[in-house]
Chains A and B, each alone.
Chain A
C-alpha cells in the first residue's frame, strides 16, 4: 500500500445533517478520511454512530450537507446526476446490507449487469461473472434466481457483483452479516486479495474479528471519527518476525 499515491476515496470534512430545526440529527460531523490504493479500511462503532451514512456518502448514494467526497480525485458533488452515476458504476463496487439483487435475473445475470452497462459484450460479461462466482466458491449458483438462494448465498452474489470489472473502490456494508464464520472468512480473504492487488475498500462491520482483516480500523461515535488503529507499525512487525523465527525453526 502506498501513502504517497493519491487516495481513491477522500472524504473531506464531510458532515451530514438529517431533518431541520429542533428535529435535526447530525449523522456525521466533519469527518476526514482517505482510503489509498491497496488499503482495506474497516469502520466500527455503535449503532447510530454514522457508519452506514459514511458509506452511502462515499458511494455517492447520498450527498453531504457540508464538505466534499472525492472518488479518484473527482468531486462527486460537482457532477451532474448522469455523470455521478457513471463514476459510481465504473469505479465503485457497492455491497448493500440487504444485497439488492434484481429478483428477475439469475446470479450470473445480476453480476454481469454492471459490466454490460459499461459496454462490455454480454458474452464477455458472463465470462467475468462466472469467474467472480468461482472466486467466491459459488459457481454452482450461476443460473439460480435470488428467491431460490439462502441469505448467505445472496450476500456472496452481491459481493461478486461489487468486485466484477476493475472497480478501484469497493464499499461494503456488513458484508459478512449473513455468513457463518468460515464463509465470512472466504469473503474477507477475497476482499483482502483485491486490495493487495491495488484496489481500495471500506467496509462497515460490528465484528472485530472481521475488522481485523483491515489495514486500518476507524471508530465512529455520534458521527465523529474518534479513533483509529495506526497502519502496520514497528511493534506489529516485531511480533510477526518473532513468531516467524519460531515457526521457521526445527519443527520436527
Chain B
C-alpha cells in the first residue's frame, strides 16, 4: 500500500498539514489501514528529500503546511497511469498456513479450513453491515464514494477467500477419497502376475 502516493494525491488538492492528511486519508479508507501521524511526517520528510513536496508555510496555530511540487504532480500521474504490479504477490498468511498444514502430520486441516471460514464469514458480515451504513449515510460526496469502494474491495476480497476455502475443502475431500480407493484397491487386488510384476 502506497502511503507516499496517497499523500501526494491529497496534496494535489491543495496544501495541507500532517494531521489533516491523516484525517483525510482515513475518511477515504476508513480505519482499514490506520495511519499514525508519525508515519505521515516520516513520509512527508522523504517526499521532501526527493523533491516531490515542499514546505508551504505555517498558519497561526503553528501547523506546518506542505504543497506538492511539479515533480510530485508528475510522479502522481505516473502512479495513476501504471497498473499496480502483480509480479510480487503480497505474502498471504492464510495460504502459507494451509500450505504448511497439509504437510505437517497431525494437523486437522478441515478444522483449520472451517474455523477460518467461520472467521472470514463473520468479517464479511461486518463489512456488509458497514456498507449498509455507508449507503444509508451517503451524502453523494467523493469521500463517501471512496470509502464505499474500499469497503466493497474488502467484501470482494473476503468473498474470494471464502470461495478459495470452499475449494480447498472440496480438493481435500477428493484427495482423501482417491487415497481411500487406492488403499482399498491395493488391499483387495490379487497379487500381480509375473509379467505385470516385471513391468512394475
Contact = CB atoms under 8 A, between A and B. Distances in A.
B130 A240 contact: yes
Contact of B30 (A189, A235, A243, A252): A243
A251 B162 CA distance: 33
Interface in A161-217: 189, 192, 207-209, 211-214, 217
Interface residues of A, number: 30
A226 interface: yes
A212 B26 contact: no
A229 B119 CA distance: 8
Interface string B121-162: 110111111101110010001010001000000011011001
Contacts, number: 82
Contacts of B163: 208
Nearest to A230: B122
B159 A208 contact: yes
A176 B51 CA distance: 52
Contacts of B114: 219, 226-227
A242 B128 CA distance: 16
Contact of A46 (B122, B126, B170): B170
Interface string A218-252: 01000000111110000110011011101101111
B31 interface: yes
Nearest to B151: A243
A130 B166 CA distance: 40
7 contacts: A212-B155, A214-B125, A219-B118, A227-B117, A239-B130, A249-B26, A249-B27
Interface of A: 46, 189, 192, 207-209, 211-214, 217, 219, 226-230, 235-236, 239-240, 242-244, 246-247, 249-252
Given A239-B126, A249-B27, 12 more contacts: A208-B124, A209-B155, A212-B127, A212-B159, A217-B121, A217-B125, A236-B125, A239-B130, A243-B130, A244-B133, A251-B27, A251-B141
